[in-house]
Amino acid sequence: MKSTLVPARPSATWQQADLKERGVAAAERSALGTTARVVVWPPHELARALDAVDCELLALDRQASRFRGDSEISRVNSSESHTFLLTEGLAELLATALAAAELTSGLVDPTIGGALIEMGYDSDFSSVRKCRPDPPAVGTPAPGWASIDLDGRLLRRPVGMVLDLGATAKGAGADRSAHAALSSMEDGGVLVSLGGDLAVAGQSPQDGWPILVAEDPLGDRVPGHVVRFHRGGMATSSVVCRRWQRGDRTLHHIIDPRTGEPARARWRTATVAAPTCAYANAASTALIVGGEEALDVVTAAGLPARLIGPDGSVRLIGSWPDLDGGELVAPAVDRLGSRTVMLRGAL
């Protein structure tokens, strides 16, 4: 028998969603400043899966939300101490972020929290003032992930450093949620999406999970692209979704750690498939920040990607299918060094 999880009451209730797909059941609710969606087959497993996902999302919010004053990471960020004994959950999330930083040579870096605050991203995005007359502060380079020492649960970091796990925690949350949901089910498979970053676990439907990779709303009307996905995770990073105005500058939330400024993106949207959603999340963010430099890392790892340029042009990388409805296959394991094992998750 599977263990039964008893979730805390979530801040929003699940609503059934009709996906027009036979043999599956789906529900969605607001969570973590975005929309969470859970899809399962067979349909009768949905209730147990939702309970399991509720537990994981609540834990993730309490551990890693920079916008909750009572979260564990907020207590670390506001502390004048430089040494902390983290919970196992936050230690795992930070280890994943450090693995992503090493994998991307620092293009993805958990020490950009201070830069995000200086740019005006100092609260949940729904509460960010989208238009302010005062210009942002001049960006300064992030302190750098190498200044963090994490030994198991023991963290040492410079006083005043503000950690932000936005480039990996949502992906890790999707991975955790998918595997927790599967553990609560008797059979079948599950897909968990957090704001479009998704992880799948268990047995996929016969033809794979149908995923619509949609384009951002810039008016170019780049058509969406449906792929069939069987295993691993997929994530999208974009400079056109979370934007705000400071003075005469339009800013976005993807920071280049080397400058402390919003990245001067080679592509406006990057979607990547990988062994886990956390890995895909890190790779898609790195592509926005590093452009061709990051593309070398992605191609070396054999990760398929779909990139959209500023002019709306589409570039497919690796084995990303060019036909609508084609099969998208993420590699089963990465090939880039021991620390990236933290990005593999429970495959």
- pLDDT bin (cut points 50, 70, 90) of residue 53 is very high
Taken in order 117, 33, 37, 180, is the CA torsion positive or negative? positive
User: What average pLDDT does this structure show over 321-341?
Assistant: 72
Whether the Cβ atoms of residue 227 and residue 328 lie closer than 8 Å to each other = yes
Closest C-alpha among 42, 6, 2 to residue 24: 42
Torsion of CA 186, 331, 235, 170, to 10 degrees: 60
- For the chain, give the mean pLDDT: 87
Taking 50 as the threshold, does the pLDDT of residue 3 lie above it? no
- The rounded percent of the chain whose pLDDT value lies above 90 is 66
Alpha carbons within 13 angstroms on the beta-carbon side of residue 117 total 13
Burial class (CB in 10 A: 0-12, 13-18, 19+), 23: exposed
Taking 80 as the threshold, does the pLDDT of residue 286 lie above it? yes
Alpha carbons within 13 angstroms on the beta-carbon side of residue 168 total 34
Residue 171 has what pLDDT?
96
Lowest mean pLDDT among 75-84, 135-144, 262-271: 135-144
C-alpha to C-alpha distance for 281 and 130, rounded to whole angstroms: 25
Whether the Cβ atoms of residue 25 and residue 46 lie closer than 8 Å to each other = yes
User: What average pLDDT does this structure show over 121-142?
Assistant: 70
Give pLDDT tens digits for 151-193: 999 999 999 999 999 989 999 999 999 999 999 999 999 999 9
Taking 80 as the threshold, does the pLDDT of residue 103 lie above it? yes
Taking 70 as the threshold, does the pLDDT of residue 1 lie above it? no
C-alpha to C-alpha distance for 159 and 82, rounded to whole angstroms: 5
3-state secondary structure of 283: helix
Taking 60 as the threshold, does the pLDDT of residue 9 lie above it? no
- pLDDT bin (cut points 50, 70, 90) of residue 130 is low
User: What average pLDDT does this structure show over 23-50?
Assistant: 95
Residue 311 has what pLDDT?
87
Helices (H), 79-202: 88-103, 113-119, 169-184
List, in order of start, the domains of the chain with CATH numbers.
72-156 (1.10.3980.10)
Residue 138 has what pLDDT?
75
Give pLDDT tens digits for 287-319: 999 999 999 999 999 999 999 998 889 999 999
Q: What is the pTM of this model?
A: 0.90
